[in-house]
A and B are shown apart, each in its own frame.
Chain A
C-alpha cells in the first residue's frame, strides 16, 4: 500500500531527489510534500482544470499524472511562473480585468491561458473560449478571463 520509489525532478528550477508513494499523484506531491500549494485540486478526475501545471513544457493535469511519472521531469507551477516573471503581463491583465474572484480556479486558468498566449493563439473570443473550456470557473462567468487574454494578445502584438 505504501510502496515508495525515489524520483529526481526539477520543480521551478529547484532539483530534488525524494521518495514518493507510488500511488501519489503529482499535484498531491507538490502540495503536500513540497508545500507548493498554489496548484489546486478541484475534482481529482481530470475535469476541472484547477490542477493544470507545466511538465516538460506541456500543460498537464497534475491530478492525472503520478508523481513517479515525473521522474526526470521539469515541472513549473504557478509559484514558479510568478518567481520567474513569466506571464507577468497575463497576471496584470487578470488584475486589470477582474478575471478572478475566489481565485481557486486561477492557477489552472492562468496556466491554460498562458499556454494559449505563448502558442500564438488568436484574439478571437470564441477561440479563447474554446481553449479555456477545460477549466471550470464557478465565479466569474468567464467573460473577464477572455477579456484579459484578449488584452495580452493585443498587447504582445503591438510590442
Chain B
C-alpha cells in the first residue's frame, strides 16, 4: 500500500484517541431525526392486515367496508400490487443451487408464514388505518404447515413450494483431508455432541420504518429509510418499482439500532413505496412491536450434529458436523438466507490448525418468518460448535482448556495461512490474545477458587472461546453473486471557505460512531481540529456510491477511503499553498488549520509550538473561491478530493479475539449468574478505543441474549407465541456483568489505516464462552447443556430435576 506513513505519529492525529462523538449531544437533547419523526405535508399512514395462519390458500378478502371507512384513501391487496411491483428472488449465483421462488410484497394467493402482509390500508392517520384494517375479512383455507425444520425434509412432509418437490433450499458440503480416516484412528478420542440454537431476532429499539414521497412531476421517489445500505435500497426500489435508478433517493438519518435487521427487503416497506407512488402523496409506515417480532428477520435456528477427534496430546485430528437450518418460506432478498449456513461451514474451527474437516449444511424452507443475516452471521454457531467440542474433548482427555487451545491455535508467526476450507488468514494473534486473556482474568487463581467453592456446594465455571470474525468484506461476499451490494466505499472531502472540511461518505451510522471515526481520520490526516469537520452519510444523493455499513466494514473500508481522500486533499491544498506562498509543496504542512513551513517545528508534520505559520486554510480557501484573480491562470485549484477503497486479494479481513466467561449456576433453580466476562480482541488499528469497547460490550451483551434469554417461540402450527417485549426476553441492565475489554493491535496489511472491524466479535464469540462456562459449572453435577438459549428450565432438565 502507498500512503502517508507518518499519519499515526502526527501530534494532531486523532487516530487512537477516545474522541467523544460530536453527534451525541444532539441525541441527548432529543434532537435526533429518526424516520418516525418525519412529518410531511399531506402525509398518509399505512397499516397492514397480516396472515393469522402459517400456511393457507387465500379464498376471499372483503375490503369493501375498509375502503368506505372515513379517512381511508386506499386499500391494496397483494393482487392489486402485481401490476406495480416486479417480484424479487433471494438467490445469488455464487451459492450454487440455492433456490427460492419469486416473492411479492404482500401474499397473492398463498400465505406462508404468520405475519405475512395481506392487505395494506392507507389512511389519514395510523389509528384510522388500523380501525379500517380491523374491518377487513379474510378467508383462508388452511394448508398443513411445516414448522419443524428437522422434519421438513421427511418424505411425507408437506412441500411448501410444490415446484421444488422438497423443502430443501440449499445444500453444501465441504471437505478437507481425510476425516473418516482420522476419526477411525486408534489413538484418538472422539467426542460427539448435538447443538441446538433457537431462533432469535434483533429487537432494534427503533422498529423498521419508512417514509416515502413520490413527486410525479419529476418521477422522483424519496425513501427515508431506517437502515444500513442506502445504495442497495436505491437499486432495489428502482428495479422493483420500475423507476430509473437515478430517480430514487434513499436517505437514512438517525437509525435506532439495526444489527443486520434493517438491511433486507421487507414487503411492507416496498408496498409503502408502491402506495406513495400510486397516490402521489407521502406515506409513512412504522412497524409496531408485534409486526417487528412477526416480520423482522429472525436469526440462527440451527441444529448441528458435531464431532471432534483429538489425540492424547490434545491435537485436533478431525472435526466434522452436519448443520440443518430453517429459513422460513423464502430466501431473503437480496442477501439470501444461505449466507449464514455458508459462514458456519467456512468459519467452524478457523482459529485452529485443522487438516481433516467435513461439514455439510442443509438449508430448509418452513412456515415461519424468514431467517437471514443478523449481527455476527453464522459466527456464534461456528464458535459454539468448534470451541464447545474442543473444551469437552479437553475434559475427556484430562487437559486444561487453555492448554488444548495453545496446542491447536494457528501460530501467530504462521501467517499468511489458510483455513481448511481455503480462506486466506493473515495478521491474526490468537496466542497473544489468549495469553493476555489468561493474565487479565487471573485464570489459574480463579480455577483454584472454583475448586474450593465446589466443595462448599457453589457451582462456578469458566469457559473460553478463541474466535475469528469476518470483517471488511471484499466483492467475494455478495457482488460476485450478482447482488446489488457495493463492496467498495467512497469518501469525498472538500475544503470549505471558512477553513473547515466537509466529509461525505457512503458508509453509514447506526450508533457505532462511524461519523466520528471518519471525522477523526479526516481531521488527523488533513490537519484540522475535530470541531472543524462536518460529516454527511446516509444519502444517495450526496454521498459517493458504496455499500453502507454491515459485516463490520465501516471503519476498515470507509475509514481507509477517508484516509486516502484526506491525504489527497492535503496534497492538493499544499500545491495551491506553495503557489501562493512561492514555496514548494514538500516544504509545507497543514497543522491545526494552518499552512506551516516544515522544519520550522522540527519537520515531519510535527506542528510544535515553534511552527511558523504561513497562512490559514480559510485564507487559502477564500483566495481560491473568491479571488481567483490573484492566482496564476495556469493554476486550476481543486479543493475537493474523492477516493474509493475496496479490499482486494482476500475475500475478507479476519480479526480474532479470545474471550472468557465466569458463571455461577444455581442447581436448585437453574438460574445462571454471569459473574465476569473478559474480551481480548484484535481489530487491528484501533481508531477510537471507547467506540471499539462500546461495540465489543454491546456485542457481548447481544450474545448473552442469544445464549440465555432470547428465543422466538413458535407453536407447532406456526404461531409466534411470545411476540411482545414482555414475553420475549432481552438482556436488561440488572443481569448484565461489567465486561472487561482489552486490545491487541495487529494492523491489517491490506490498508494503510490497518483497521479491521469490531462490530460483531462480541456477539459471535460470547455464546461459546458462556456455554462452555455453564458446562464447566455443571460438570461436577454430571450434567451438560448444548442448547441455546440456556434457560433455567433447560438447565434443570439437563440436571434431571424436571
Contacts and interface: CB of A to CB of B under 8 A. Distances in A.
Given A43-B289, A103-B511, A133-B733, A91 B29 contact: yes
A47 interface: yes
B4 to A, nearest CB: 28
Contacts of B27: 100, 103, 106
Contact of B257 (A24, A36, A104): A104
Contacts of B37: 31, 37
B725 A103 contact: no
Interface stretch (A54-62, A66-74, A75-83, A151-159): A75-83
Nearest to A130: B734
A136 B725 contact: yes
Given A23-B127, A101-B694, A95 B255 contact: no
Given A47-B726, A102-B510, A132-B733, A138 B259 contact: yes
Given A40-B206, A47-B724, A103-B511, A143 B736 contact: yes
Contact of A102 (B207, B511, B700): B511
A141 B734 contact: no
A140 B734 contact: no
Contacts of B734: 126, 129-130, 132-133
Interface stretch (B17-25, B56-64, B164-172, B609-617): B17-25
B215 interface: no
Nearest to A146: B733
Contacts of B730: 136, 138
A110 interface: yes
Interface string A103-134: 11111001000000000000001101110110
B738 interface: yes
A102 B701 contact: no
A18 interface: no
Interface in B20-58: 20-21, 24-25, 27-32, 34, 36-37, 39
Interface residues of A, number: 60
Contacts of B34: 37, 40, 104
B733 A129 contact: yes
B619 to A, nearest CB: 33
A144 interface: yes
Given A101-B511, A102-B256, A103-B511, A136 B32 contact: no
Contacts of B724: 43, 45, 47
Given A38-B29, A95-B21, A110-B28, A104 B690 contact: no
Contacts of B202: 138
B694 A106 contact: no
Given A23-B127, A95-B28, A100-B24, A35 B39 contact: yes
B671 to A, nearest CB: 16
A8 B732 CA distance: 37
A110 B263 CA distance: 29
Find the residue from B21, B29, B37, B733 having the highest chain A CB count within 10 A.
B733
B204 interface: yes
A94 B736 contact: no
B203 interface: yes
A138 B702 contact: yes
A41 interface: yes
B698 interface: yes
Interface in B727-741: 730-734, 736, 738-739
B231 interface: no
Interface in B711-768: 724-726, 730-734, 736, 738-739
B439 interface: no
DSSP class of A's interface residues: helix, strand, loop or mixed? loop
Find the residue from B128, B694, B702 having the highest chain A CB count within 10 A.
B694
A96 B20 CA distance: 6
B125 to A, nearest CB: 8
Contacts of B28: 78, 82, 91, 94-95, 100, 103, 106, 110
Nearest to A127: B734
Contacts, number: 183
B698 A47 contact: no
B205 A101 contact: no
Given A136-B732, A141-B700, A45 B206 contact: no
Nearest to B32: A103
B131 interface: yes
Contacts of A39: 30
Given A78-B30, A94-B24, A133-B734, A103 B739 contact: no
Given A41-B36, A132-B733, A91 B25 contact: yes
A35 B172 CA distance: 53
Nearest to A131: B733
Interface in A1-58: 1-2, 21, 23-24, 31-32, 35-45, 47-48, 50
Contact of A77 (B30, B203, B255): B30
Nearest to B696: A141
A102 B326 CA distance: 30
A79 B698 CA distance: 27
A135 B741 CA distance: 24
Given A37-B30, A91-B28, A104 B256 contact: yes
A107 B289 contact: no
A40 B254 CA distance: 13
B691 interface: yes
Contacts of A38: 29-32
A140 B511 CA distance: 9
Contacts of A130: 733-734
A30 B257 CA distance: 23
A128 B258 CA distance: 27
Given A82-B30, A110-B28, A98 B738 contact: no
A125 B698 CA distance: 18
B632 to A, nearest CB: 47
Nearest to A104: B256
Contacts of B701: 140-142
Contacts of B204: 102, 104, 138
B288 interface: yes
A32 B288 CA distance: 16
B596 to A, nearest CB: 31
B512 interface: yes
Contact of B288 (A31, A44, A138): A44
Given A40-B256, A98-B24, 4 more contacts: A45-B725, A98-B20, A103-B32, A143-B739
The 9 A-B residue pairs whose C-beta atoms are closest, nearest first, are A38-B30, A103-B27, A104-B256, A102-B511, A101-B511, A78-B30, A141-B701, A82-B29, A37-B37
18 contacts: A21-B127, A38-B29, A38-B32, A42-B206, A42-B725, A91-B29, A100-B511, A101-B513, A104-B254, A110-B28, A130-B734, A135-B733, A137-B205, A138-B203, A138-B259, A139-B257, A141-B700, A145-B733
